[in-house]
Structure 1
């Protein structure tokens, strides 16, 4: 039996060391006893550095109390599922981890698996920001509706009252003509009010963004770094050429969002067993700068869903974590600054996005 156990341990060692997931074993005192290379690489520490201090010192300060509570449950032999917290890497960056852990009371050890969900959290923050903006815009529209209904009440009521006073049998009568003049003035007042409200709506809907020369490669590299673990685990390859147009007047945070959402979607909707290959290049066509993005993923049936691709809350593949927001955001960012975006795709043959930036 002992020989069998030793053989089994030998077989598990490569699994532990080669796993792309972040694996660790901790003791009930709150120290790492063993971590796999993927976990050490994610946090940027050596294994010796991780073993040298209590686990709590690697956890983001705001998450330590809640993590300690779950840690206490583990020491009471209660397994941990679906727990998220933040660690601080050696470089000072926050890393979101999604934990599953099982305690062994007999060994006084905890066996845990952590998935890096940092890129998902970044997308969630963007979604929260969008929802917040939508709520604020909705509140403004509600307020405008209240103002309109209140301010138009008097001139409309006045107009109705004057119309009721009209005596059609006395069209040539001076009083009637005077009343008609009042009707005209009331109508003019109503028109002026409506014009003012239309102008107010237009002003609220206008996004006055301060544009800067955004260099494609700089933003691309920033986004790659932010999702480096995801790119590594998915074995994503890039073919990039920004030589024809190195920069474009744009909003930097919008460009970051465009790259992040397109790349994340290419990885999420990659063909099973096929590493994503993403081609990104720029062109200049009749004075307009273009960004052409191509992947080799699952693609879409354009005849069935081509008209829905950029709509909010649309989902086209059976992926549980899809929220139907990424492509909506991409189009919103592009069109809000005077640009346009087109898509061409075939099932199992990948997708091409062509972004034409505003003049």
Structure 2
């Protein structure tokens, strides 16, 4: 049994929640020490002034509306408003209140929720800033893709003016044709990027049945000068999983970035070789791209490899964007990517779609 020495008054005084009795006239009638402790006013100050004096000015109208509801015998559950402490701090309180009409008073209990509200406000601010940054990046991507089409189109016009029959040297003719195909591939990619941005705007993301070999061949044709100039050997085998439901632009970007990275970070002392294959495992389509390049220290790059602007080699052309794009392409449709690598022994990227 509870000791008779333990009275309700003791409970009222010791509870950490803010407990009060407020009159219909807008003044505190009885409050526990927690109210004085949180608001930093003395009991005399709290009793002598209208409750509205302690409420944050912007919250007074909604608080008055809720007070009128209480007078209409409507209990108040989890109503949150702000008070201002004597030192000027903003205090968030969550109220649960019951009217006692025949006594013209309201019994109320409040919990301080300032910390939670601050966290919510910080999160909202971060989400707003992130949304603004995403919009800025989207606009930049659109402008870049759009504006690059003009010089690309100008280059293609030059090719249209060329009379290929006048080029007598076979190697020169082959080189010019390679540049022409690469430029056409660049124009096609820019158009696809613009189309993808438009799809994102309309929340429409196209997945289609793709042939690995076809997408791979299109990518290789655009970077053939790079492949030829470096003497890179690429062996591909898509026979075990020839097709995939996926976004064409994303799959092309995966091929483009991983193949160009493999060439970029090849070892100068041996011929660069890249092996690409697809297969099925547990009902999922797997793509692996293996190279014999410089490789990476996986302990060092752990957790950072797919981050924005992360570079791990001293290559002048390293920007730390390619792997970031690949990672987000794959994650956006529920896939995964894993890497095995060792310094001097090359890298293997395994993508599960």
Q: TM-score with structure 1 length normalisation?
A: 0.46
Higher Rg of the two aligned structures: 2
Q: TM-score with structure 2 length normalisation?
A: 0.47
